[in-house]
Each structure stands twice: as structure tokens, then as C-alpha cells.
Amino acid sequence: MIYQSLNVKWIALIALIGLAYFVVTTIAMHRLRPDYKPQSRYISEYAIGKYGPLAASSFVIYGLAILGLYLCLKTVLLVTAKSNTGLTLMAIWGVATVITGFFDVDLKDEPMSLHGTVHSIVSEIGVAASVLGFIFLSRNFAHHESTQSIAFVTLMIGIGASILKVLLFFGLLGDLALKYNRHVSGILFTLHKLTGLTERLLLGISVVGLMIFVKIVL
């Protein structure tokens, strides 16, 4: 039992390093690629062109970190129907994030390609799974004394992520319309210009949520 506990703590620490790698790499890419405007460019666009492998590796490491925390939570949390749902969604999120690291996204001004379509679909699945995962896990945390203190915070992260996910989806619709020379105006055009900012806020609060999970394990 002690050996298993030590393994879980080591996995959590490795996952923490993975999260740090993702955050540091993402910040570094903003300095390395000043030609991309952060408020409108997706983070995954950094995986195309110069320094692309570095950016792509950060998504793979980020996904593996999520899967590592999934294994940790699966070990330390009491098993209930609610936790199983939340953990399953978390696993889907991790796998989807790893996959996006191997399929380049299409640049905003380029038409959709096969690899770009795969990236976009898998990314949408992963983000949706992350949002729902936080909400389901918060419900599970509320039913156990040891995790009740973080249940509300996790729920707020899930709700905040849900709002940002909706905004990001409408921004994506604006992107798709412009890719195929469709007229875009009003709220869709505004959200299209802010997809990068929305995505960064979403990833930011998701990383905070994952850090909370690290705290649970450690």
C-alpha cells in the first residue's frame, strides 16, 4: 500500500512537471513567434513552421500529464458512478490532447485539410470532455469530506470553462466561414478575432484545475 502511494505521488510530480513544461513552452512560443497575434491565433498554430516540433511536443506532454493525473485520481478517489463518469471524461481529454500533438491544425487563412480536420474534431472532443469532466468531478468531490473544500472551486472552473467553450465554438464558426469566403459580421466576427484570447483563458483555468488535482494526490 505504501509502495502504491509512493508511485501515485511520483506520477503526480511527473504530471506537474509536464504541466509546467506546457505552460513554459506556450509562453516561450509567444516570444519565439512574435509574428502571430496571441488574441487571434490558436496556440496549436505555433506547431506549424519554425519551432513547430517544440510546440507540438508541449501538447503531447500536456496530454500525458492529464492521463497521469487521471491514473492518480482513479487510485486515490473513492469509486462511485459520478467519479467514474468524471474520470472517463478526463481520460478522453488526455487522449485527445495527445492526438492533437500529431496532427497540425490549419492556419486561420488556409482551407481545411485532412490533418487539420482531424486536429479540429479531436480538439473539440477533448475540450468538451474537459469541461464536463470538471463538472462531474466537482459533484463527486462534494460527496466526500476529504475533497469537499475544492468541490466548489472545481465546479466554478467547470462553469467558467463551459462559457469559454461556447465563445470559442462561435469564434471557430467565424473562422470556418471566413476560410470559405463567407461574410461574417457582428458577434461572430468579434469572437473570430478573439479566438486566441478565449483559448488561452480556457487553457489557463484548465491548468489551474489540474493543479488542484495534483494537490489532492500530494
pLDDT digits (tens, 9 = 90+) for 83-122: 688 999 999 999 999 999 999 998 887 888 899 899 999 9
Instruction: Give which of 25, 96, 101 is closest to 59, Cα–Cα.
Output: 101
Q: What is the pLDDT of residue 81?
A: 45
User: What average pLDDT does the structure give for the chain?
Assistant: 88
Phi/psi for 48 (5° steps) reads -105, 130
Share of the chain above pLDDT 70, in %: 93
Note down the domain range covering 133: 2-217
Would the pTM count as exceeding 0.95? no
Distances (CA, A) of 198 to 8, 76, 162, 217: 33, 33, 12, 29
Cα separation, 172 vs 24, in Å, equals: 26
What is the residue-wise DSSP string for the chain? Answer: -HHHHHHHHHHHHHHHHHHHHHHHHHHHHHHH-TTS-TTTS-GGGGGSSTTHHHHHHHHHHHHHHHHHHHHHHHHHSPP-HHHHHHHHHHHHHHHHHHHHTTSPPPPTTS---HHHHHHHHHHHHHHHHHHHHHHHHHHHHHTSGGGHHHHHHHHHHHHHHHHHHHHHHHHHHHHHHHHTT----HHHHHHHHTHHHHHHHHHHHHHHHHHHHHHHH-
Q: 32-69 as b/e, with b when 16 or more CB fall inside 10 Å?
A: ebeebebebbbbbbbbbeeeeeebbebbbbbbbbbbbb
Binned at pLDDT 50, 70 and 90, residue 1 comes out as: very low
Domain count across the chain: 1
